[in-house]
Amino acid sequence: MKVNKNSDRLGEEAIIPLLLKLSIPAIIGMAVQALYNVVDSIYIGHLSTEALSALSLAFPIQMVLIAVGVGTGVGANSLISRLLGRGEGHKANNVAEHVVFTAIIYGIITAIIGIFFADDLIRIFTSSPNLIDMGTRYIRIIMIGSVAMFVPMIFNNILRGEGNTFIPMLTMLIGAVINMILDPLMIFGIGFFPSFGVEGAAYATVISRIISGTFITRIILSDKNQIQLKLEDFNFDLGIIKELYQVGFPAMVMQILASIMMAGMNVIVASYDTTAIAVVGIYFRLQSFVFMPVFGLGQGFMPIVGYNYGHNNPKRMKKTIISGMSIGFIFTMVGFIIFQLFPEGLIRLFNGNQELLEIGSTALRRISLAFPVIGISLIGATTFQSIGKGFPSLLLALLRQIVLLLPVMYWLGELYGLSALWFAFPVAEGVSFIILVFWLVSTLKDYFAKMREDNVGEMVNVSNNS
């Protein structure tokens, strides 16, 4: 196996410079990805508020697909970094080989579902014939081309597991920039392109992902990485799949919970005003500007914590966790300030409809009250994943997004109306944040105490042997 210094630096370089070095490429890539999501919706919003609502109804389905990719990718990132920390490079290569085939299988299954059941999926969320028609036309194309989404999303995490965040950033940049260029051309029919409407946004997404997926595939199959793929020697090992999804499955379910949360929100707000469905879609796209940088930070954070966990270095883990949470807090505080000061301007980017502006401005101000604690919570969840404990992250996500958020939202709406139900966000985030802090501190205390005992034991053995 070709050896490089990527994993060594995870245990040796100064933490904050290393964290920034690993995170900034992922932050840039995800920020551009967030920009694409917003630009995509802005163009659709200029077709009509109804078209924007149709995309909002399709978005939970897209989030399920993203959940599959994110869960598999997070599992690969965490497992590969821990294996490299323990010096098990051959097994890390084997994990990457399993991940490659998994991405292809997911893409094939999703395409089949999209061909035969896309309209049934949209009908779950609405009975409006027009919304069903637009939503189905959009999501069917996305699902048929889903292998082009799974490949770059999952393959990027193979490289992140060895501490390479630059190439994943470049992959995301390529996809997002091409997507933003193609969007207006294919939605409105500029130049020699026909006007596809909402379908144009889907075509632009699939084409851009095919190009970025081709790029990352060539990189993954080269011999310049620490992880070396030998696909011709691949032998399926169920044990590796189990290890992969010990962290990956909870991460996947966490993302699926976000899809259920958004679908539930759409159902709740639709009973008050169909324009509020568009507001939900706008919020989730705008929040990506706030949360994507934190997710990018987590991509650099995870291999450092995972490596030093595998390398039994609790002191370095502590410093990384404190640094990561501090930076995450700064990111979401900036988002809080922007959402509080400029909510109407943010909504107006999508559509100037007066009702949309009124409902949307109130929603953004009240939802963003939760932002100050979310940055810390996200890094806390990533800490659990980094040390191979996906269950706490899953349980906290279930508590925050389903158990607390949707019932509180429904209850506030019933008692005080549409304008009050947005307060459910800060209530749910605040309660889950308190639980996360106690759970994470307890888990880390137990781990650090065990490390101290092991170190003392080793010193006693060395002394006795002398």
Does the pLDDT at position 88 exceed 60?
A: yes
Q: Over range 176-186, report the average pLDDT.
A: 92
Better-predicted residue by pLDDT, 11 or 171: 171
pLDDT digits (tens, 9 = 90+) for 450-459: 776 665 455 4
For residue 57, the number of C-alpha atoms closer than 13 Å in the C-beta half-sphere is: 32
Using pLDDT thresholds of 50, 70 and 90, give the confidence band for residue 202: very high
Q: Which residues have CB under 8 Å from 390's CB, separation 6+?
A: 75, 246, 247, 248, 249, 250, 251, 384
Check residue 348 and give its pLDDT: 93
Check residue 214 and give its pLDDT: 93
> In angstroms, rounded to a whole number, what is the distance separating the alpha carbons of residues 418 and 423?
10
Does the pLDDT at position 111 exceed 90?
A: yes
pLDDT digits (tens, 9 = 90+) for 417-429: 999 999 999 999 9
Check residue 239 and give its pLDDT: 87
Q: Over range 243-262, report the average pLDDT.
A: 82
Does the pLDDT at position 49 exceed 90?
A: no
H or E element, residue 21: helix 15-45
| Average per-residue pLDDT for the chain | 86
The alpha carbon torsion through 411, 412, 413, 417 (nearest 10 deg) reads 150
Check residue 126 and give its pLDDT: 81
Most confident of 8-22, 150-164, 168-182, 401-415: 401-415
> In angstroms, rounded to a whole number, what is the distance separating the alpha carbons of residues 200 and 46?
14
Check residue 462 and give its pLDDT: 44
Does the pLDDT at position 349 exceed 60?
A: yes
Angle at 155 between CA 185 and CA 384, to 5 degrees: 115
Using pLDDT thresholds of 50, 70 and 90, give the confidence band for residue 1: very low
Better-predicted residue by pLDDT, 351 or 141: 141
Would you kindly state where each structural domain of the chain is located, as residue ranges? Answer: 8-459
pLDDT digits (tens, 9 = 90+) for 430-442: 999 999 999 999 9
pTM as predicted: 0.74
